[in-house]
Chain A
Amino acid sequence: MFKWLSKYFATPSQLRKAGILGMNRRNFKFIAKYNKRNLYPLVDDKVQTKELAQKFGITTPRLIGTIEYQHEAKNLKDMVKDGESFVIKPAHGSGGKGVLVIKSHDENTFTTPSGRVLSYKEVYQHISNTLSGLYSLGGQYDTAVIEEMVNFSHIFDNYSYQGIPDVRIIIYRGYPVMAMTRLATAASGGRANLHQGAVGVGLDIKSGKTLKAVMRNQPITHHPDTNADLTQIEVPFWTEHLLIAAKAYEMTGLGYLGADIVLDADKGPMMLELNARPGLAVQIANGIGLSKVLKKVDKYYPKRLSPEERVAYVLTH
């Protein structure tokens, strides 16, 4: 009985020893303490995030324009240049809802990367839905953000069943502390959520190399669909990734933060979005508890360094 229990359940003291951060502790000791409520809009509103990022020299997909009112929807044609690829998404969206990627367009039609052809009318309908809050948190009226499409680097092509993986970095008091990338699988329905069956790959914070890959809590070595070797991932431009993450701290003032970073084939790493309540799955992907690392930051890491100095510190310690 006891053996059976310990096969499926850890004891609190075991978790504490492993330095695992629990949800209650995360909320009470880190989010409530380091993330001021009034700063949330900076990360919850993608337009604000973008404008701020620009000020702090963080690359993000270029903002083409925003649409706030229904009657402006027809301006879309004037906003995007001929042949330009772009993305329409709600400013307050989450979980990829309402993100419409347009790879190319001409007088009458829009084409998505998967080759689906949409008419102007359909795209306007999508914008209209976005504005009325169909895809937004709480269904509030929203703004549609039009931004340049990221030209994803092909490095990850084999690693994901669908879509392009981004790198999630957890930043604590300005220091990048833990990183992972989430790879969609057939089992996860093409979504990048670990609890739905996506693969989580923990990345070494110093090198951007695979630490460990897990799927449904089990260690794996190869992607179940593409059969790509997951142990050999090495994210290029790792230092630049870390620098973007580190700068996000100055940018938002949030002490406990998650940054989603994608790799553009031409422009290098770009920050896609920030999250003031990053989940705890990163621990499972890394096989390491966050508490340990956060404690180390509190205790030993020097305070009041510049982002560059912090990244250098992380890389050398």
Chain B
Amino acid sequence: MLERLKSFVTIRFVLTLCLIASCLFAGYKIYYKVKYWGFSFAPHERTDIWTIEADVNFTANGEPIKISLAKPQSSNEYKILDEDIVAPGYKTKIDKDRVILSTAAREGEQNVYYRILLFDNQDAKGKTAAPAPQAPEKPIYSEQEKAIAEEILSLASKQSGDLPQQLIRLFNQVPPEPTVTAFLPMKKTTKNVAENISKLLAYKGIASRMARGIKLEEEKTAFSPDLMLEAYLNGRWKLYDLTTGKIGLPKDFIIIQRGGTSLLDIAGGEDSSIKFSVLKSVTNTFNLAGKRAKLSNEQQAYDHSIYNLPVNQQSAIKWLMVFPLAILVIAVVRNFVGLKTMGTFTPMLIAMALVKTGLGAGLLCFVIIMGLGLLIRALFSKLNLLLVPRISAVVVCVILIIQYMTEISYRFDSDIGTAASFFPIIIMAWVIERASITWEEEGAFNACREIIYSLIAALATYVIICNETIRYIMFAFNELNIVLLFLIMMLGTYTGYRLTELKRFRPLVK
């Protein structure tokens, strides 16, 4: 007895361990897929893809040409999906942060294009960890300039925020302070504002640098990059908007160049200009998984996964992957709820047919086929046919019923008939056979009850397998099926009461 008890405990114990292990495994795989393959939990999640195009224009002056263009880098916020260069006759080289184009001497107007596709836009923190910069060189101010600088700094201290913010706000004040006007050159531009603020910061011993970036918007053509200021404060680079003083990377903003290097260097050309344009397109996140895997050096694992199969196979597997869940539902309905269904998996097959036919048409069609089938079966039972010919005859009748339904519904232009052809004939025949045997042995009431219970189980299954999100999740995170396997096995050791027994045995408790 004790030994039997022990062996029982072990089964459940082992299953519990397996369940926990499979949960951990699935958890890890889900984490992995989300992190490295970019899988999401919503089926139609879309990712914005930004196409940024830089149009470089200059006049060649007859010397060998070398163009060096700053380009965005893959960062936490953006990943590079693709990049290409349209520059006929140029040798091209793409570095980490610059594109280098070179060619022999040329004359006349030159046009080259650089295009980059970015995706993955998460809200960025706007703080860039980087090696601490050297203490900035103090600007050389004349006595008079120094006095003005001090005055500006003291004026700035009345503004809110940290020092760079105070300065930016002071410089943008309307109407401007006379001191500020005097300090700036005649023509006030964002660039010289930035340069002067940078100088003042250096005067206070704070390192700063320029940053150029692009605000990603639906459609934007022929614009210049925005200038921003980065200051090194409290051990971090902070990015400042030069008009509002707001800290942090603005939404949908990508930095293409930082610090002292220039946006564009051209040797062998003059009158250069660079114009950017931005185009937004949208794609299904799932399609980017391979690309992401590649970017995170997880290509091999991806190549060997089901997601790398041809689309046809994938959709077949996708359909398959939801069934363990459906099976779990049936197991719960039978062993936990205690509904007696016709056959174990018949409800599942009915549910499958319902998905194909649509709920309303499918149910109506099911009821009609069942009704007529039972009627015919009742006639057959008078003939005392043997089992195999009898079922076979029922199958033929079901086929005929389906044929007529299709025909009639075509004539009346309804889709109930077409729904009929999706019901698996053999299953229908078998259900009719089962129902009529129950009918004979246990009466119409029990037969109807069994049919209704089967339909309830089928509907529960239907709700699950027709839910696109669930289907998608079971496919994208298919290791959940292992968890389901152990859950189902655990259910096999469930010895508690079924819900229906709570009612059945109610008279036995006082």
The 10 closest A-B pairs by CB, nearest first: A139-B387, A25-B495, A22-B497, A14-B509, A9-B502, A10-B506, A132-B386, A10-B509, A217-B507, A20-B505
A136 to chain B, nearest CB (A): 9
Asked whether, in the complex, the Cβ of A133 is within 8 Å of the Cβ of B501, the reply is no
* A133: nearest chain-B partner, CB-CB: B387
- Contact flags B484-509 to A (C-beta < 8 A → 1, else 0): 00000000111111100111111111
A1-41 residues at the B interface, CB under 8 angstroms: 8-12, 14-15, 17-18, 20, 22-25, 28-29, 33
**Dominant SS among interface residues on chain B:** helix
* A26: nearest chain-B partner, CB-CB: B495
CB contacts (< 8 Å) of B505 on chain A: these are 10, 15, 18, 20, 22, 283-284
A214 within 8 A of partner (CB)? yes
CB contacts (< 8 Å) of B503 on chain A: these are 8-10
A117 to chain B, nearest CB (A): 18
B415-457 residues at the A interface, CB under 8 angstroms: 441-443, 446
Asked whether, in the complex, the Cβ of B386 is within 8 Å of the Cβ of A9, the reply is no
A287 within 8 A of partner (CB)? yes
Known: A133-B387, A193-B442. A283 touches B495 (CB 8 A): no
Q: List 11 interface pairs A-B (beta carbons < 8 Å), by A numbering.
A: A10-B508, A14-B509, A15-B502, A18-B505, A20-B505, A24-B494, A25-B497, A97-B441, A132-B386, A133-B387, A287-B508
- Complex CA–CA separation, A56 to B335 (angstroms): 38
A236 within 8 A of partner (CB)? no
B338 within 8 A of partner (CB)? yes
B186 within 8 A of partner (CB)? no
A-B contact count (CB 8 A): 92
CB contacts (< 8 Å) of B158 on chain A: these are none
B6 within 8 A of partner (CB)? no
* B7: nearest chain-A partner, CB-CB: A33
B44-88 residues at the A interface, CB under 8 angstroms: none
CB contacts (< 8 Å) of B134 on chain A: these are none
B residues sitting closer than 8 Å to A (CB atoms) are: 1, 4, 8, 335, 338, 384, 386-388, 441-443, 446, 492-498, 501-509
- Complex CA–CA separation, A289 to B492 (angstroms): 23
CB contacts (< 8 Å) of B338 on chain A: these are 23
- Complex CA–CA separation, A139 to B502 (angstroms): 34
Known: A33-B4, A193-B442. A129 touches B384 (CB 8 A): yes
Which bracket fits the contact residues of A? Answer: 35 or more
Asked whether, in the complex, the Cβ of A284 is within 8 Å of the Cβ of B508, the reply is yes
A residues sitting closer than 8 Å to B (CB atoms) are: 8-12, 14-15, 17-18, 20, 22-25, 28-29, 33, 95, 97, 125, 129, 132-134, 139, 189, 191, 193, 195-196, 214, 217-218, 283-284, 287-289, 298
- Complex CA–CA separation, A213 to B238 (angstroms): 86
| Contact pick for A298, options B1, B496, B498, CB 8 Å | B1
Asked whether, in the complex, the Cβ of A22 is within 8 Å of the Cβ of B507, the reply is no
A226 to chain B, nearest CB (A): 21
Asked whether, in the complex, the Cβ of B497 is within 8 Å of the Cβ of A8, the reply is no
* B503: nearest chain-A partner, CB-CB: A9
User: Apart from A22-B498, A287-B507, what 19 extra A-B contacts exist at CB < 8 Å?
Assistant: A8-B503, A8-B506, A9-B503, A10-B508, A12-B496, A14-B509, A15-B502, A18-B505, A18-B509, A22-B497, A22-B501, A23-B338, A28-B494, A29-B495, A95-B441, A132-B386, A196-B442, A196-B446, A214-B507
Asked whether, in the complex, the Cβ of A129 is within 8 Å of the Cβ of B508, the reply is no
Asked whether, in the complex, the Cβ of B386 is within 8 Å of the Cβ of A129, the reply is yes
CB contacts (< 8 Å) of B496 on chain A: these are 12, 22, 24-25
- Complex CA–CA separation, A256 to B496 (angstroms): 19
Asked whether, in the complex, the Cβ of B508 is within 8 Å of the Cβ of A283, the reply is yes
